[in-house]
Structure 1
């Protein structure tokens, strides 16, 4: 049985990005259909942002408490892993999406459950769980918001091992006695932090020279130091050559011929776009590819196809995907209503400027690492004449009050020609809350002379802003 319906906008994927595209379309008076093959709310709600941070919050809170005399004596025992996992389950709504479905209904978007595939220009065919087909035609736009999946390496024996990816690492129902984590990026560092604190003996295997290689080098160094002090092993410059599962034990073979045994192994080795089976070939695009877009999030060479969020490979972060969704929704509505887009206005409602200049990110390890904009290496590679200004956050009065033995570092990258900030990085307990101020400074291109008059409250960790500016001015 097949039925056909026409909408102004058809959205493939009901994660936070797809939800926001539909919301912006509806707010502009356009009709919208949303197609989802799994849970409404997507990766972020059930297998990424929310469950991972629910696992990490007790870890960070305990670490902060142990920095304070009078409190540390009360929190010396281990975390109650069962209670932490139960709270995590609450934050994922026990992997049920009723609340998210109700929200979609409240904005007036129609939900189609099933596998959605492009079957020609402006045309999406949805095959429901019962085999029923729905053919959806879009008057103005189809938005691909299908996100990414974990990219697993081509290793002998991997298919038979049933390894963890980010999904299993955030949804596991018991703590493994030993856990091998392959990778050195954000997922690897966060999950190593969480499971070590919950009782696993964690060994990290990093092919490169250190953790968090896309941030300033000191970020990975401080996070590594803390992980090692917590009892984890961090081995750099090593590669996995093969894995086998023998009963309940995973045997990992390294490039030097040595082996490791563990109950589970997590591969956090990158992401791949979920575009391999959505019908891209029917509109002249390569299945399984990233989808390059312009600053209005429209796929290059198309007048109707948009790719929003991780799938376009601009910035693989939920908050950036939601930002892109707001831009895409505004652009789709403007074009549908015949309103000309001001293509030259980089700060207009229809241009994803911040994806180029001020992408913020927080890594919820202990210590936290947060950044906005470019690193020193990225700024130099882009040809800017810059100066890196560093400051020891522990020297700020607010850091000492935050907790004993505070360790942290801040760096700002100054464009010497324009005297604005191109990037800022903080590492230390609690610094995630400093990142938005850095994002404002970078995205807003606030001149150094004006930042001098932005007075931080005393005594807070944010006083590091004043110290960075004083160091720059000399």
Structure 2
């Protein structure tokens, strides 16, 4: 294979061809694309395989379309909090314009631009279903049944991501439920929508579709929303959703669901009936590892793949699992971070350069996946967090203190939004005097989280944070209020 990139489509030959590469990447979402980019930059020949659209879940059914739906919702909410502006934005959102904008950001579900990017870096693209047929060997079955066998000299990287996990309810397939894919790509606004779940997808989609005109009911099995964050995050988001008109029922599970004459009827474990036009299940994720031939290389199909800090699958010296499939942090930005680590590790090993073990915070160690994973939930108010919650830190054996601040004490917050309502917490390791976690809830706090990520990842001493002076008057002054509360 020449170094000039190619996109391989149908092959009329009935006999499978065989091609060697330094690296084979299975899955061409953001994670796979970044692995390919790093290995190509290191001079390694690289093939990348994709069964759907180049660009993956994030580009077409997750990050990009969901944030395109949510941006006008958040912008309108912010404008309504500014005196002199709120009266100009009192009407409803133009749902058709919002959906059209969403379609633009998904490139209308066409991947030409991302194909071009991969070809420009010199990666060879194979379209079809890739399955292992033995160690270092992947057979690609194309859309017309043609096959290509790819042999990796150095590494195969599994970057196939995750899929929505549906509950085991009889007849659920006949109901045609929404998953995150349908929720972010629906061409119309449902009149009534049931959202099952209380996590990120559930809260973001409840926020978006309610603002676009749906009557939304959220059914949560647990005690509240956003259970993996500090409890006040879910409480403030639930309060705002309820004020917007969303009905939230906690401690509620679905016993059965049917579609009667086009209407979804969900019966709860308490015997209540909830009717809607559509029902979204946002109840977890499963790895896309069930149909890629892992059994041929001694790995259990359908499982999350265990890896070391260089993303090498446990017990192998050539197989990498990057992104959602390793279950370390199911977030696009963390998957891309892992891809940079994996690409560097693959290149080093291919070139015979030993990795320094252990190598915390080194070029070949995905240390941040243990200590400093940031996330933003684009609800109104936004919720953003990095690192450990107070409870997680205690359970991990740290001697910690939680320092809480109300944003009402921050001058910049009041200027940002009239009646700004929000809360922040930092979790301090009292032995090391460093931050283990930070959580913000309030309008615009997504832009604050990187400062917290730097503090947590960099293990910046609390004393030194006094010299990181926040600009006045900005919401970032919350850092000064943190330090004053900690000292006081």
- TM-score by length of structure 2 reads 0.97
Residue-by-residue CA offset, 1:253-301 (whole Å, 9 max, x unaligned): 0001110110000000000000000000001111100000000000000
Match of 2:270 among 256, 269, 274: 256
Match of 1:229 among 243, 251, 265: 243
Does structure 2 conserve the Cα–Cα contact (< 8 Å) formed by 1:160 and 1:245?
yes
User: For the residues of structure 2 that align with 1:472 and 1:266, how far apart are their CA atoms?
Assistant: 42
Unaligned runs of 5+ in 1: none
**Alignment of 1:187 onto 2:182:** no
1:345 deviates by 1.7
User: For the residues of structure 2 that align with 1:311 and 1:52, how far apart are their CA atoms?
Assistant: 22
Does structure 2 conserve the Cα–Cα contact (< 8 Å) formed by 1:9 and 1:142?
yes
User: For the residues of structure 2 that align with 1:111 and 1:6, how far apart are their CA atoms?
Assistant: 14
Does structure 2 conserve the Cα–Cα contact (< 8 Å) formed by 1:156 and 1:241?
no
User: For the residues of structure 1 that align with 2:17 and 2:266, how far apart are their CA atoms?
Assistant: 51
Determine the structure 2 residue equivalent to 1:377.
391
Once the two structures are superposed, the pairs formed by residues 160-239 of structure 1 within 5 Å of their partners are 160-239=174-253
Determine the structure 1 residue equivalent to 2:408.
394
Match of 1:12 among 26, 29, 47: 26
User: For the residues of structure 2 that align with 1:238 and 1:405, how far apart are their CA atoms?
Assistant: 33
Match of 1:245 among 239, 259, 273: 259
1:381 deviates by 0.4
User: For the residues of structure 2 that align with 1:25 and 1:452, how far apart are their CA atoms?
Assistant: 41
Q: How many residues align?
A: 474
Structure 1's consecutive aligned runs of 4 or more residues displaced over 2 angstroms after TM superposition are: none
Unaligned runs of 5+ in 2: 1-13
What is the alpha-carbon root mean square deviation over aligned residues? 0.4
Does structure 2 conserve the Cα–Cα contact (< 8 Å) formed by 1:253 and 1:260?
yes
**Alignment of 1:462 onto 2:462:** no
Determine the structure 1 residue equivalent to 2:11.
none
Once the two structures are superposed, the pairs formed by residues 440-455 of structure 1 within 5 Å of their partners are 440-455=454-469
- TM-score by length of structure 1 reads 1.00
1:130 deviates by 1.0
Match of 2:445 among 431, 436, 456: 431
1:157 deviates by 2.2
Match of 1:34 among 39, 48, 54: 48
Match of 2:377 among 338, 344, 363: 363
User: For the residues of structure 2 that align with 1:228 and 1:344, how far apart are their CA atoms?
Assistant: 49
Determine the structure 2 residue equivalent to 1:132.
146
Does structure 1 conserve the Cα–Cα contact (< 8 Å) formed by 2:409 and 2:481?
no
User: For the residues of structure 1 that align with 2:221 and 2:285, how far apart are their CA atoms?
Assistant: 16
User: For the residues of structure 1 that align with 2:407 and 2:159, how far apart are their CA atoms?
Assistant: 39
For residue 343 of structure 1, give the secondary structure of its aligned residue in structure 2.
coil
Residue-by-residue CA offset, 1:6-55 (whole Å, 9 max, x unaligned): 00000000000000000000000000000000000000000000000000
Determine the structure 1 residue equivalent to 2:289.
275
Determine the structure 2 residue equivalent to 1:150.
164
1:250 deviates by 0.2
